[in-house]
A and B are shown apart, each in its own frame.
Chain A
Amino acid sequence: MNGHPLLEARHVTVRFDGLVAVDAVSAAFAAGELVGIIGPNGAGKTTFFNALSGVQPPTSGELYAMGQRLTGSKPHKYAGLGIARTFQTPRVFGALSVAANVDFGLQFAGRHRAGAWLLKDEDSILHVVGLAGQRDLPAAAITPSQQRQLEIGMALATRPKLLLLDEVAAGLTEAEVDSMAQLIRRLRDELDLTVIWIEHAVTTLLKYVERVIVLHQGRKIADGLPAEVVRNAEVIEAYLGDEMVEMA
């Protein structure tokens, strides 16, 4: 690691025509961290993720992974360096079986990295994300929340160092969200992963993450421990409202 953060964004700006979706956001993520990103609708969370995974090249600013400059590289470069992501709307290969979807990642980005025991092959990955029973079904035939689980499985198949999760708990019941959070914690602990997790359900997220970044209108307005962030006056005004303060 030689002292470099696993992933670092320096003044990343993404502009679409007139709209500034992400406005000079800087953030660094160290190995083993579990970081949450929250923000109201349209705050630029997903666009920031797209920039962090190479899907959307930033208009300006720099991206570094383990000290290596990645600005402008294609997503396969990011995947090759161990940065994996899921998509908010599942983008699984519908015609392929669930197992083949996981195998895809193993064949490409995950191919030359030694897999931890948990990520040994497609069956062990399916077991981890809880889809062992759906192994041979076409990915188009499983439920949307199972497709979200499969998204995580596909990302894990690249045997990543860093996992970017985009609203993986959306549409889940309270109990399911809890088990999802347990899974994410477990992955972080057992695989030594860094996890960056976007979620709309703020209360849940704040319970599980160790650090939280708040985006508002494309700008980063807070970055710190969950307990501190919910007392931040700007955050309360922008987003959280009084109920959060009471909760904290």
Chain B
Amino acid sequence: MRHITSTDPWHVRLREALFGWVLDSRGLGRDAWVLFALTGWALAMPHYGSDFAVSLTLTCLMYVALATSWTLFCGSTRYLSLATSAFFGIGAYTGALLIDQFTWASVIGLGAAVAALVAVVMGSAVLHLRGTYFAVLTFGMTELIRHAVTYWEKQVTGTVGRVLTETPERDTVYLTVLGLAVLAVAVSMIVRRTRFGLALAGIGADEQRAMTLGVNTRLVKIAGFALTAAFAGAVGAAMSVRWTYIDPATVFNPFIGFQTVLIALIGGIATLWGPLIAAIVFSVLAETLRLQAPQAYLMALGLLLILCVLYLPGGLASLRWASFIAWRDDVRGWWREREAKAKRAARREREARYGVGS
């Protein structure tokens, strides 16, 4: 790290002022181009795609946003949060309550803000825990919030769910979710190159060591958790209008949280593009198999997870041509060993039958 002083030429100082916070710009250009191309394709999609294709892409974009933002915090710090459905549901409810009084953009923003606020409170309470305890507690809090909303609907407002009368057009929802997905990838791309991202990675590697080197880990964790929650809340607010009728069981469905984690794990939690790749694979599987063969869809998902954990611990994004070659060599080695073993066994049998050396 080089310090910039006032004696440096103006363009060096300007670059430092603009991009000084980017610690490592290697690969940033390439990632930006890939994102740009994908965005262009997704923008063109509603103009030529069928309704089915657009709905599939929307599901896909929703999971890109959810899984990418989940990975941003949970992947780098190794804090496995199952609270995505809580933030999604909070965003959806906020959206449903406010859509009549506010503009579309502020509904999305408020969904994000309320979810982030809840994440700050929740994070302050549970982020000092690690591993299983953290995962179980985030799940427990999700259930708590879901039941609290159900109770509030029954006892206070006397309703079960909300009917959304004024919903924006399909293309508005599509563009909003697309915008959120692109923003999630872009933020993720940038954060991993900043001090904030470095602090998150340090927390994931050895939290106490990071502390002794000066990282205020508590603050960083709460900020990261709130950032993830803001994305889930915004996506929830945008997606709620697709259902026209929402109730706690739909929007706080724990499956949304599980699916987000599964996608991130299958794609590779330490990678930028992994969650996006897995979200595409997953949405295609979901939309094509769910209606015809719901069991087959869940089985395929389970099988994919098992295979990834066993043979591809870095996730789909870590898949290279070399992985295939290594697998081939593994299988070949296993087969050779098997043959050699069979040969040895045959020889032993021969020797036992006819005596040694004959």
User: A residues engaging B (CB < 8 A)?
Assistant: 53-55, 74-76, 78-80, 84-85, 87, 91, 93-96, 103-111, 121-122, 154, 157-158
Contacts and interface: CB of A to CB of B under 8 A. Distances in A.
B211 A76 contact: yes
Contacts of B212: 53-55, 75-76, 78-79, 84-85
A157 B1 CA distance: 11
Interface residues of B, number: 20
Contacts of A96: 205
A17 to B, nearest CB: 20
A79 B216 CA distance: 10
Given A103-B1, A121-B1, A121-B2, A108 B205 contact: no
Interface in B192-236: 195, 198-199, 202, 205-206, 208-218
Nearest to A78: B212
B1 A106 contact: yes
A108 B2 contact: no
Contacts of A80: 214
A93 B214 contact: no
A96 B24 CA distance: 13
A74 B214 contact: no
Contact of A109 (B1, B2, B23, B213): B213
Interface string B318-338: 000000000000000000000
The 9 closest A-B pairs by CB, nearest first: A109-B214, A108-B214, A79-B214, A75-B211, A91-B209, A75-B212, A105-B213, A93-B205, A76-B216
B214 A76 contact: yes
Given A94-B205, A108-B215, A109-B213, 13 more contacts: A54-B212, A74-B217, A76-B212, A76-B215, A79-B213, A93-B202, A95-B205, A104-B202, A105-B213, A105-B214, A107-B23, A107-B198, A121-B1
Contacts of B209: 87, 91, 93
B1 A154 contact: no
Contacts of A111: 214
B232 to A, nearest CB: 28
A104 B213 CA distance: 7
Given A91-B206, A93-B206, A107-B23, A157 B211 contact: no
28 contacts: A53-B212, A74-B211, A74-B216, A74-B217, A75-B208, A75-B211, A76-B211, A76-B212, A76-B214, A76-B215, A78-B212, A79-B214, A87-B209, A91-B209, A93-B209, A96-B205, A103-B1, A104-B198, A104-B213, A105-B213, A107-B1, A107-B23, A108-B195, A108-B210, A109-B214, A111-B214, A122-B1, A158-B214
Contacts of B217: 74, 76
A109 B214 CA distance: 4
A155 to B, nearest CB: 8
Interface in B14-36: 23
A191 B218 CA distance: 31
Nearest to A79: B214
Nearest to A159: B214
A167 to B, nearest CB: 16
A110 B206 contact: no
Contacts of B211: 54-55, 74-76, 79
